Structure 1
């Protein structure tokens, strides 16, 4: 088959289901990962946030006065979003290392179909962790409004597409799981804390913190999530979060369309 032509072959929407089904089976067979995902809300919120809330007073946010644990709970949700990016990186790295990515593309799976199907693994993980956190927050007074918080999960899932697409793009540049772990530890873990997840962003924050928050896409995604979770409903924040995600998907599709493909294991 002419290598210049196979990229234009498409199975259509069926290919999304093919990739998604494979990711669903991979998720369900990883019981150890499921246990790890269950423990994260208990550790981050159950130990860290609840302990901090005993020493931190109410938070002033967009004209509201809310308990710190309610403010921080939304920040913890975005922690899960960025950590789920590592799952997208891992799954895409497996595909690339064993030639599965090339096989999928050769057989008619287009890049945007691949991005959509591969997002199922991190989405399931994110929803699972979010529900565990919401239950925990509900019994500890950490939920501002259950209905609004569940609605805000839509923004969370849309924003996850940014991070999973970014993770898949990065997987095209790495050749080992060790490199993936280094990227997550040295780059993306600080991103989670540079955004106002557990602290309140203000003009009195240190200059370096303000600069990091301004250039951090997580800051704007978190603001969009909170505008729904706290019943503010600022349309501009929500639109901005959607635009950020769409731009990342476009970039990821562009890169996947032009990346060299290999059937050999690396």
Structure 2
């Protein structure tokens, strides 16, 4: 009996699993979760398509951009790509907050999955959805303004997908500071519309009121859209690109800091 009592059991920590394999496995998990909630997520899928098909086509004769006429649909197509990438950030905020509340994130971490692999899987899952939306938007652009579909449109679409990584990291940073669903919903509401409406999504900055224009200059989405539109026109906006890349690098550093120091689960219990 004494020998049995003196015996100690050593529990080995779960070994860290390969990053790529974990990211792929968790991406499939997020995709399955999205499919389970497909009716709720349908609105997010079609929202930018409705904006483009109805709002942007209506503004074509009201908002004047360089080139005139159908050039506005080309302008607003890039704007909707930016809006969709912003939506990726909101989706990441919701996903991370949910996973921290219900212990999914904690289970993944304790099972040897790194925070980086978990976040990479979220980015990958959201990029798949964004790619579907971008393809549908491109189809609408070809339908309403076929002359505006040029080879540069394809490369800009790919750049927009890459740009959404910044917004995904931003959503994750915010989610690690969220302790309740009510706060999550408040942040989502107070960030989506102000960021969208103070960026040149539907109209250029030079037609904005002075106060809104000043807000646009501190909105990262403005610099993302400026860089994308410059690429669309075959030029490069070095200042806008540099500003957005700097914001992306800063957000990556902040996310790394926050992910290492945040509790695995949120404080919400109901």
TM-score (norm 1): 0.85
Note the aligned Cα RMSD (angstroms). 2.8
Structure 1 counterpart of 2:98, from 88, 91, 94: 94
Other-structure match for 1:232: 235
> Is residue 88–residue 167 contact of structure 1 (8 Å, CA) maintained in 2?
yes
In the alignment, the residues of structure 1 paired with residue 44 and residue 190 of structure 2 have an alpha-carbon distance, to the nearest angstrom, of 21
Structure 2 counterpart of 1:32, from 39, 58, 62: 39
Structure 2 counterpart of 1:20, from 20, 24, 27: 27
Other-structure match for 1:247: 250
Matches within 5 A, 1:65-104: 67-104=71-108
> Is residue 92–residue 122 contact of structure 2 (8 Å, CA) maintained in 1?
yes
In the alignment, the residues of structure 1 paired with residue 181 and residue 147 of structure 2 have an alpha-carbon distance, to the nearest angstrom, of 37
Matches within 5 A, 1:97-136: 97-136=101-140
Larger radius of gyration: 2
> Is residue 98–residue 265 contact of structure 1 (8 Å, CA) maintained in 2?
no
State the SS of the aligned residue for 1:122: helix
Unaligned residue ranges in structure 2 (runs of 5+):
1-9
* 1:30–1:212 distance in 2 versus 1, CA, 3 Å: same
* 1:11–1:263 distance in 2 versus 1, CA, 3 Å: farther
State the SS of the aligned residue for 1:138: helix
Unaligned residue ranges in structure 1 (runs of 5+):
none
In the alignment, the residues of structure 1 paired with residue 146 and residue 200 of structure 2 have an alpha-carbon distance, to the nearest angstrom, of 17
State the SS of the aligned residue for 1:119: helix
Structure 1 stretches of 4+ with a deviation exceeding 4 A read none
Say whether 1:164 aligns with 2:201.
Answer: no
> Is residue 37–residue 129 contact of structure 1 (8 Å, CA) maintained in 2?
no
Question: What is the CA distance between 1:218 and its match in structure 2?
Answer: 0.6
In the alignment, the residues of structure 1 paired with residue 266 and residue 149 of structure 2 have an alpha-carbon distance, to the nearest angstrom, of 50
Question: What is the CA distance between 1:216 and its match in structure 2?
Answer: 0.7
* 1:255–1:6 distance in 2 versus 1, CA, 3 Å: farther
Other-structure match for 2:63: 56
* 1:105–1:123 distance in 2 versus 1, CA, 3 Å: same
In the alignment, the residues of structure 2 paired with residue 73 and residue 231 of structure 1 have an alpha-carbon distance, to the nearest angstrom, of 16
TM-score (norm 2): 0.84
Other-structure match for 1:258: 261
Say whether 1:207 aligns with 2:210.
Answer: yes
Question: What is the CA distance between 1:6 and its match in structure 2?
Answer: 6.6
Question: What is the CA distance between 1:124 and its match in structure 2?
Answer: 1.7
> Is residue 70–residue 143 contact of structure 1 (8 Å, CA) maintained in 2?
no
> Is residue 49–residue 72 contact of structure 1 (8 Å, CA) maintained in 2?
yes
In the alignment, the residues of structure 2 paired with residue 89 and residue 187 of structure 1 have an alpha-carbon distance, to the nearest angstrom, of 11
> Is residue 141–residue 148 contact of structure 2 (8 Å, CA) maintained in 1?
no
Question: What is the CA distance between 1:129 and its match in structure 2?
Answer: 1.2
